[in-house]
Amino acid sequence: MFDLAGLTTLKLPFKAKSLIRLTSIENVCVSMQQLGSIPRLVVGGGSNLVILEPEFDGIVLRPEIQYYDIKESGNDVYLEVGAGHPWHQLVMKTLDAGWFGLENLALIPGWMGAAPIQNIGAYGVELKDHCHRVKLYDFEEQSIIELSVPELKFGYRHSVFKEIPDRFLVLTVTLRLSKHATPRVCYGEISEELERQGLDAEKPHDIAKVVISIRQSKLPDPDITPNVGSFFKNPVVRPEVADRLLEEFPEMPTYGSGEYTKIAAGWLIDRLGLKGQKIGGFAVNDRQALVITNDGTGTADELRALVALILSSVKATYGLSLAIEPTQLGQLN
């Protein structure tokens, strides 16, 4: 067994039978056809993965593909990027090249290949807003296919990959960026911080700069304090449910989400006094209640107990069932 705990940012114990590094699209087909029916787990940057089984009787696949291709059409730039490219580096590289769109998504950890899996999003922008198509290896058909945006079924922290887990391996993602900046600063926090730092809301570099500083001030750095970012999704409820809750909790933050209303899960947890709550090596982060941190000694059972406490407290007070955001290997509850 290989010790792979270091591959995930939550740093729970993790051993697997073997690990295959996939470095080019060409070697994926050959290597994957030889795999047969052995259980497999794809791990990129490991920043959205909770390992609850310390020993995985299968193969870990690391899609380290570094492909990069640029096509320009008028003001549009189509950038095809290999699954192994670190996301934040890509954001900064595109801004430096004068190709805009990804600025609000700066400093999200992880690799390109995982971005479509949960349709990463932050500060009013999601991957779906700039995704053109995705090239995949289909384990069922044992061939390479491409999916267009409608076929990817993107939603809030959702995609076709969540509906059919384990079927596809993302090889490349083609992004559609623009040489014209379209700043999106509708989040109050961003416009306030731009003003406070004397920066320009029309400049994508400045937007990325404030996104980075807000994130650094609010979120623990996973390289220092193990975590997987938001542990829970924001509940998306019918407006009448939000109205009922707002009557009891008028200060509860809500956001429009089409015909539904999104409720800030971090606020729900924070209001219950759970910030800083510890069970063993795990704790609810004292700056951002959506984040659970590991002091490096945490066990899967301690994490299960802390998550169970949060879920039952939220359910008892607000009548809402929070959903877990990261992918899990093994059972959390």
Ligand X SMILES: Cc1cc2nc3c(=O)[nH]c(=O)nc-3n(C[C@H](O)[C@H](O)[C@H](O)COP(=O)(O)OP(=O)(O)OC[C@H]3O[C@@H](n4cnc5c(N)ncnc54)[C@H](O)[C@@H]3O)c2cc1C
Here the tokens at position 277 are: 């709550």
DSSP three-state, residue 120: coil
Give the residue with the Cβ less far from ligand X, 106 or 310.
106
- Would you say 82 or 204 has its CB closer to ligand X? 82
Sheet holding 291-294, edge to edge: 227-230, 291-294, 282-284, 278-279
244 carries an active-site annotation: no
Number of CB atoms found within 10 A of residue 11's CB: 21
CB of 49 to ligand X, least distance (A): 4
Q: Do residues 133 and 146 make contact, with C-beta atoms less than 8 angstroms apart?
A: yes
In whole angstroms, how close is the CB of 244 to ligand X at the nearest point? 28
Report the interface residues with ligand X, using CB under 6 A: 9, 41-49, 63, 83, 108-111, 113-115, 117-118, 120-122, 168-170, 219, 222, 227-229, 327
Q: Which is nearer to ligand X, 169 or 265 (CB)?
A: 169
Task: Give the pair of three-digit tokens for residue 18.
Answer: 């073997």
**Active-site residue identified among 103, 126, 230, 302:** 230
Q: Smallest gap, in angstroms, from Cβ of residue 219 to ligand X?
A: 5
Smallest CA-to-CA distance from 320 within 250, 264, 274 is with 264
Query: 29: number of CA atoms within 13 Å, CB side?
Result: 8
Q: Is 230 a catalytic residue?
A: yes
* Beta strand extents in 113-182 (DSSP E only): 121-122, 125-126, 131-138, 143-148, 168-178
Tell me how far apart the alpha carbons of residues 95 and 178 are, in angstroms, rounded to a whole number: 10
Q: Residue 63 or 298: which CB sits closer to ligand X?
A: 63
- Whether the Cβ atoms of residue 219 and residue 139 lie closer than 8 Å to each other: no
CA dist., res. 204 & res. 184, Å (int): 9
Nearer residue to ligand X within complex by CB, 231 or 318: 231
Of 47, 62, 80, 157, the active-site residue reads 157
Please, what is the minimum distance in Å from the beta carbon of residue 111 to ligand X?
4
What's the rounded Cα separation, in Å, for the pair 83 and 65?
A: 5
Name the residue with the smallest CB distance to ligand X: 110
Q: How far is the CB of 298 from ligand X (least distance, A)?
A: 15
Catalytic sites, residue numbers: 157, 230, 325
